[in-house]
Structure 1
Amino acid sequence: MSDLASYVSHRKVVLDFFERAIERHRDGKYSQENIVHQLIMPMQVESDEIKVEDANLWLIDERLAFHRYLGSDKTLLSMPVTGANETLEPDITCLNIYDNPILVNEGQQLPLASITVVEIKRPMRNDFKEGEKDNPIEQALLYIQKIRDGKIKTSGGRNIPQSDATPAFCYILADLTPTMINRAKLAGLKPTHDYMGYFGFNDSYKAYIEVIGFDQLIKSAKERNRAFFDRLGLPSK
């Protein structure tokens, strides 16, 4: 119970830091992407190089904690689970691999369950435009395709079949500035009920896309953890 209380307190501290990180500084500027990135996930690391408590992927989605391989700010070429030849660097990539059920699927290779790409942008950035270089939605989708085009293998060197049909999830973490909203609309995404994010499915890439504003990210994380914060007497507003 003490360990759980400590972990919940850690989450509260992370949220407090995150709120400060996206605010404008005294010099009128905002934090760079790497500051926000480090709060969510250490950079230039892989799954076996970090501890569970060093990553805060729960800020985006609690399910991301159950990945089988994760690369943070690593080139596709350096990811041992993909076998791709690309030097592109998605901010965070999670690859989930189904376990091999002996009684159901004996002797067959492991299918890839899903691919998740997270793109993180500087708070209040407002210069997004068409093209892979300046459009985070297009960046994420192309990362998905590059991974699918690689000779997909597990970290143990086993081929993974049917990669073209692998479900994919793209999370874009960025403030909803006018140019980001324009990119989301042009991608055919719909606003959330509170207009703090956009979501949709790209049929061509078979990918679910979610643009999450930083305010929405913090709000949702607080709501998911409020019961725990209240139980420990921690302020949740």
Structure 2
Amino acid sequence: MHDFVYSDMQRTSIEVKGERFEMVSLRLKSSPRNLAPRLYWCAANRVVVEENLTSRVPGLYGRLKDAESSPFTYVCYLSSEFLDSHVRADRTAFDISERVPGTPLIEDVSMDDIRESVLKEVESILAGPLSTAREEGKARVHEFVSKRAPRYRPVLSRLEQLGVSVDPSMKDQDLELLLHSNLQKLEAFALAEGHAVLGEAGSAQPEGYDERLARYLYTVTDINQSDLAAYVSRRRTILDVLARQIRADDQGRYSKEDTIHSLLMPMRTDSNEIGTDASNLWIIDERLAFHDYLASDKTLKSMPITGSNSTREPDLLATRLVGSPLLAAEGGTLPLPSIVVIEVKRPMRNDASEDKDPIQQCLEYVKRVRAGGVKTALGRPIPPTREAPAFCYVLADLTKTMVDRCEYAGLPVSMSRARHTSK
């Protein structure tokens, strides 16, 4: 026994609806066999039910620390004459009702009544170690939010008010899921509160209405700041991924065009198949978020906007209506579209030539689109024109052959950063 028990703790008793229960608390030496705090329901001098207490009390997780910072695992043995008289003949369970949430309270002692009283006593017995564990958990959350998940910073105090408590040893992935689920609870609460508060708006407002409205607006403001922080953090992550993809690996090899292409937008898809959040074209130009039609690695023939029979595949092609027409006078025509073509090349590729000229390829795509029966994504015809503004982007390193093609096209070249061509 001494090999497993670090030390026993004070023996206590609780009373539940007139019934007395004895609690024997032990501190077990932490080991792979003793990882979770447990409650043993005993009867007739034997354990009948074993229950895991992990997180049932804020701060109660696998290991706690005593005043000397020695780690231990808490266990409790619960016994009473009431449990002895209500154990089943096979000694595997008790004939005691469980209180079901949402139903009226029962007069007899229930399992939930006993458990609730036990947990309150456990919190009192372990007051010191639990306080230390909660502080460590709080520090763990703050460190994670500061370094990995800044989106939760604006709502962190509100999540703490909800009683969010974490195991200091929790993995980043599990901590992210926990914070996310509690943020959703906060958003659901704010939504319900908003309906309730705004539903009371009127000539006769109830007492305390202004305070409730102010609290609701403050909560919404914090949630909106969290969304903005998540938006900025996501963009930072995408840029970090892009930076890794354009670097050489340990063998001196670079990522293929498809890898970078898929980061910008999933291949062989168009804007009718994916949502706006699926692409990262803001890396190239923020205005690409406002497009009428966008296609990635699809043939010109398959695009509803071109009317072309060509099977050539630009990496990315987009049209964008000029302005946002809501009303049109009789006899009026739709505004002309702008055209965007993006060509992606493998990092440090150095084989650009007259036959493999990405600049010329972009211009050829523009020519084909202008020559086709151009329509909007909804199938409405746009009057033909040779003057539709077009923008061509080439994503490539300025290797020697790429510089040669730029000079041949009469484009100024800066070795400090890539340029885009327009016509």
**TM-score after normalising by structure 1:** 0.79
Residue of 6, 29, 39 corresponding to 2:253: 29
3-state SS of paired residue (1:71): strand
Asked which structure has the greater RCO (Cα within 8 Å, sep 6+), the reply is: 1
- Name the aligned partner's letter for residue 197 of structure 1: A
- Name the aligned partner's letter for residue 100 of structure 1: P
3-state SS of paired residue (2:289): helix
Q: Would the alpha carbon gap of residues 72 and 199 (structure 1) be closer, same or farther in structure 2, given more than 3 Å must change?
A: closer
Q: How far apart are residue 181 of structure 1 and its match?
A: 0.5
In 2: Cα distance, 1:200 partner to 1:22 partner: 21
Q: Deviations over 1:184-224 (max 9, x none)?
A: 010000124x64234555xxxxx1xxxxxxxxxxxxxxxxx
CA RMSD of aligned residues (A): 1.6
- Name the aligned partner's letter for residue 279 of structure 2: A
Paired residue for 1:130? 354
Q: Deviations over 1:70-129 (max 9, x none)?
A: 0011110000122111111000001012443425x4443323330000000000000100
Q: How far apart are residue 3 of structure 1 and its match?
A: 1.5
3-state SS of paired residue (2:317): strand
Paired residue for 1:175? 397
Paired residue for 1:55? 279
In 1: Cα distance, 2:264 partner to 2:282 partner: 8
3-state SS of paired residue (1:165): coil
Conserved? CA contact 1:189–1:199, under 8 Å:
no
In 2: Cα distance, 1:175 partner to 1:60 partner: 15
Which protein shows a greater Rg? 2
- Ranges in structure 2 where 5+ consecutive residues have no aligned partner: 1-224
Number of aligned residue pairs: give it: 198
Residue of 255, 269, 277 corresponding to 1:45: 269
Q: How far apart are residue 163 of structure 1 and its match?
A: 2.8
Paired residue for 2:212? none
Q: How does 1:143-154 map to 2 (within 5 A)?
A: 143-154=365-376
Structure 1 position 139 matched with structure 2 position 364: no
Structure 1 position 197 matched with structure 2 position 422: no
State which drifts further: 141-150 or 20-29.
20-29
Q: Would the alpha carbon gap of residues 26 and 97 (structure 1) be closer, same or farther in structure 2, given more than 3 Å must change?
A: same
Paired residue for 2:309? 85
Structure 1 position 19 matched with structure 2 position 243: yes
Q: How far apart are residue 54 of structure 1 and its match?
A: 1.4
Conserved? CA contact 1:97–1:111, under 8 Å:
yes
Paired residue for 2:294? 70
**TM-score after normalising by structure 2:** 0.45
3-state SS of paired residue (1:190): coil
Q: Would the alpha carbon gap of residues 200 and 54 (structure 1) be closer, same or farther in structure 2, given more than 3 Å must change?
A: closer
Conserved? CA contact 1:190–1:199, under 8 Å:
no
Residue of 160, 181, 184 corresponding to 2:406: 184
In 1: Cα distance, 2:266 partner to 2:259 partner: 10
Q: How far apart are residue 146 of structure 1 and its match?
A: 0.4
In 1: Cα distance, 2:278 partner to 2:405 partner: 32
Q: How does 1:1-12 map to 2 (within 5 A)?
A: 1-12=225-236
Conserved? CA contact 1:109–1:159, under 8 Å:
no
3-state SS of paired residue (2:338): strand
Paired residue for 2:318? 94
In 2: Cα distance, 1:90 partner to 1:199 partner: 16
Q: How far apart are residue 145 of structure 1 and its match?
A: 0.2
Conserved? CA contact 1:188–1:200, under 8 Å:
no
- Name the aligned partner's letter for residue 418 of structure 2: G
- Name the aligned partner's letter for residue 40 of structure 1: L
Give aligned-pair identity as a percent: 49
Conserved? CA contact 1:82–1:154, under 8 Å:
no
Residue of 114, 117, 134 corresponding to 2:338: 114
